Amino acid sequence: MTTAVLHESGAGAGAGSGTGAEAPTGEWSIWPASTTRLAHGAVAVGGVPLTEVADRFDTPAYVLDEGEVRSRCRSYRAAFPEADVLYAAKAFLSRAMVRWVQEEGLGLDVCSAGELELAVTAGFPPGQIVLHGNAKSPRDIEAALRLGVGRIVIDSASEIARIAAALGPRERQKVMLRVVPGISAGGHDKIRTGTDGQKFGLSLTDGGAQHAVARILGQPQLELTGLHCHIGSQITEVKPYLVALRRMVGLMARIRDAHGVVLPELDMGGGHGIGYRPGEPTLDLTALARRMRAELRDSCAAAGLAVPRLAVEPGRAVAGPAGVAVYRVLAVKHTGGCVFVAVDGGMSDNPRPALYGVRYAPRLIGRRSTAAPRTTTVVGRHCEAGDILAADVELPGDVHPGDLLAVPVSGAYQLSMASGYNLVGRPAVVAVHEGRARLLVRRETLEDFRNRDIGG
């Protein structure tokens, strides 16, 4: 079978899609760079036809391009050679993902004992892990201290005493403080975390951050290494990061003046935006790195501070464009002037459209259609009117049950947010690389549900 490379003259995804101010034009621009078109309408990712994935592993399935993940990790290491780059595990985590991230030289940030213990048991060095969370459970703190995480990010005043009390008399734990800089940035109200009036961090505006700093410095078992700031998610402009960085440096200068302490670290979080549909803007990674370095240098010089070590925490920007979701069409319905294409997954494996109103660009794969395009809404199989995967998208007019649909940019915040709704079962995750497909996470089965349900 002959193949033709889809990404021509700058239309490749790969690491490049994270470094341009706008996504390349063309319907294939948002797909992994390894994507190729095969005969009869088939599509391959990582050298593996997606129809083969569907046949071998069933549907729905999440296909993760290992090469794309590694390429994006390398792009971050190249853009921030002097900084710590931590992969945000909440986007997607598996043992294979842990290994890829570690081999590419990234650290890890986790938000629970579950994420932490999976990473450590998969061989990730705990000293290169940062634990986040606005409401850390006793188990989270116990696991972090027992395993020896590199940093715990304190998110509320109550955590200061809790962490200190959990340490032995001769133990010390490095901590950071999450600060809310008062900046609104992000693709939706529900993912804007840099403003006052939301659940994360301690505010600059009301003095909560400054008070927490004094309390941490008063705990001999806690070593305050720096400040942490995460202003939101799906941010596509550089400016909000620069404003936040300037405010963080200002607070570091005030801490020096008030306490005589110069903090050596500054973590500016992640939230780096990607394009989910062709032509959507993405965060310019190269510009972000260059301008953050310049702002950090200039702000510190103006404040008379030594330049702290910078850290960033990409998650979506690493995993998102590396994933493709594959669904099988179950039904096509014409009603009220609308066309609904129902697939064998939905909000149980991707709740993001229902949560945030996000939009995707699904594509028919596995056969070549000559039918005229038709405005279609792709829906899931669940008992909710809001179970919509892609509203008002153009698909061939002859889509029918049994067809396969592929949804690119599906590697982040889909399976990691999946649920057991209707006991459908969470999909499998299949890695593709250099012509080989292998199962990373098996499909959830009825037996799994039965084994958990021990009542009677």
Amino acid in position 447 = E
Closest CA to 348 of 327, 333, 331, 334: 327
Is the torsion defined by CA of 119, 121, 125, 126 positive or negative?
positive
Strand 436-441 to 428-433 pairing: antiparallel
Would you state the structure tokens that stand for residue 160, as one six-digit string? 């200061």
Q: Where are the beta strands (DSSP E) in 220-351?
A: 222-228, 265-267, 309-312, 323-335, 338-343
Stretch (H or E) spanning 74: helix 66-79
H or E element: which one contains 103? helix 95-103
Alpha-carbon distance of 415 to 411, in angstroms, equals: 8
CB-CB contact of 344 with 330 (8 Å): yes
Residue from 73, 111, 229, 383 carrying the catalytic annotation: 383
Widest CA span of the chain, in angstroms? 73
298: enclosing H helix or E strand: helix 285-303
Active site residue 383: yes
- Give the C-alpha separation, 216 to 363, whole Å: 52
Structure tokens at 99: 């290994």
**DSSP assignment, residue 445?**
-
Asked if 70 and 102 count as a contact pair (C-beta separation under 8 A), the reply is: no
Q: How many Cβ atoms from other residues are within 10 Å of residue 76's Cβ?
A: 25
- How far is 440 from 296, CA to CA, in rounded Å? 40
Determine the Cα–Cα distance for residues 349 and 34; give it in Å rounded to an integer.
24
β partners of residue 379: 342, 388
Tokens of 77: 């290491």
Q: Residue 137 class from Cβ within 10 Å (0-12 exposed, 13-18 middle, 19+ buried)?
A: exposed
Radius of gyration of the chain (CA): 23
> CA 330 to CA 365: how far, in whole Å?
15
Q: Hey, which residues are catalytic here?
A: 383
